[in-house]
Amino acid sequence: PTRGSQLRRLDGKTRSSQVKALRRKVTD
């Protein structure tokens, strides 16, 4: 379960960063 949680956390972080970048592009 630890591996899954870690992977999920990494996925969430990457997703959030990507979404933020996309939002910035949209705003720009």
Cα four-point dihedral sign 9, 6, 11, 13: positive
Domain of residue 3: give its range.
1-28
Number of domains into which the chain is organized: 1
pLDDT of residue 1: 60
Which residues, including other chains, have CB under 8 Å from residue 8's CB and lie 6 or more apart?
none
pTM: 0.47
Cα four-point dihedral sign 11, 13, 16, 21: negative
- For 1-28, what is each residue's pLDDT tens digit? 677 777 777 777 888 999 899 999 888 7
